[in-house]
Structure 1
């Protein structure tokens, strides 16, 4: 197989004051530097999804809402995902959960990893994301990138407001591991899908 996996970095927060752009751009830079994947940012702000109100998941019947269908078409183009995860009350954002619920078939048998940020590096939110991903028949990497504690405060606007590059020495190892695993799983799932009857 010669085609490079196509990976979406999904920004999972839509708040006007979100921090997500900093880690998203840093992760984009890490992924692009590799040369073994094609990667682009998918911003939930660009998809005005209603709260999920379809008759059923699109596993069972086609969605009716045009924005939901556009979202499904957008994410369906990718072979894997990197979620940018803020932690809200031990979980992912409502916007990200809603976006996950708005599709089903498009997520199936595709891998994902995450870059999370918060007091404990969004560890609890990433674990919740992994549980949701399992139900969507996705494959989670073991590794993820966690920006927590002092590093989190250093890049917060009301903290040090530093660039992620200022703390990246603490993140590069986990970013490499997460991307290595994501690419392995993307290639494996792409190969498996290519021989399905």
Structure 2
């Protein structure tokens, strides 16, 4: 069975990422094809990238990086929950991604974004970043809008079509995560 992280991609006080992650976790946990775990960036207290050696060299020096790497290495795939801040993802999520390399390679990623326009520009930036890390990003995504999927712009209440979008995205994450498993495990194809 696949192990999938649902990454809370914001550390901003009062952010909506935690609520979105809990919603997608609840939705995903009804499935029997993977295990799902919420991973909150705030729990790792990563400073602004402070590793002296590029992540691709796989020689992490700091304990916070080693702890982050050990956690991310346990997953077969990821669902990134990202806000859209200034037409991009959060600095905290980009920073956390930049700390690692091997832990991302040959894994799958899906996206749940949120913002006034659904956070789609944040996802497009993440697709470029993760492509450079050899992550297979899936096409289906969930794009929650503040004016349509929230009550009074504060309480998350996804519209019905968002559940279908989440199901499609999760289907693809599981399929791609399973398909890439032989590459991660070194098996012959």
- TM tier, shorter chain? over 0.9
SS in 1 for 2:56: coil
Matched, 1:162 2:150: no
Task: Write 1 or 2 for the structure with the bigger share of strand.
Answer: 2
Go from structure 1 to structure 2 and tell me whether the alpha carbon gap of 1:163 and 1:123 turns closer, same or farther (over 3 Å shift): closer
Distance 1:100 1:163 in 2: 26
Alignment counterpart, residue 54 of structure 1, candidates 43, 51, 55: 51
Question: Structure 1-normalised TM-score?
Answer: 0.90
C-alpha deviations, 1:86-126, integer Å up to 9, x for none?
00101110100100001000000000001100011100000
1:9-55 per-position Cα deviation (integer Å, ceiling 9, x unaligned):
00010112111121111100111001111010000010011111222
2:93 — aligned with what?
A: 96
Match of 2:70 in 1: 73
Matched, 1:184 2:181: no
For structure 1, which runs of at least 5 residues remain unmatched after alignment?
A: none
The verdict on how the C-alpha distance between 1:60 and 1:196 changes in structure 2, with shifts beyond 3 A counting, is: farther
Q: How many equivalent residue pairs?
A: 188
Mapped partners of 1:161, 1:120: distance in 2: 15
1:61 to 1:110, Cα distance in 2 relative to 1, 3 A: closer
In structure 2, C-alpha distance between the alignment counterparts of 1:183 and 1:57, rounded to whole Å: 30
Deviation at 1:168, TM superposition (A): 3.5
- Map of 1:108 onto structure 2: 105
Contact 2:148 2:159 in 1 (8 A): no
RMSD: 1.5
Indicate which of 124, 127, 135 corresponds to 1:127: 124
SS at match of 2:80: strand
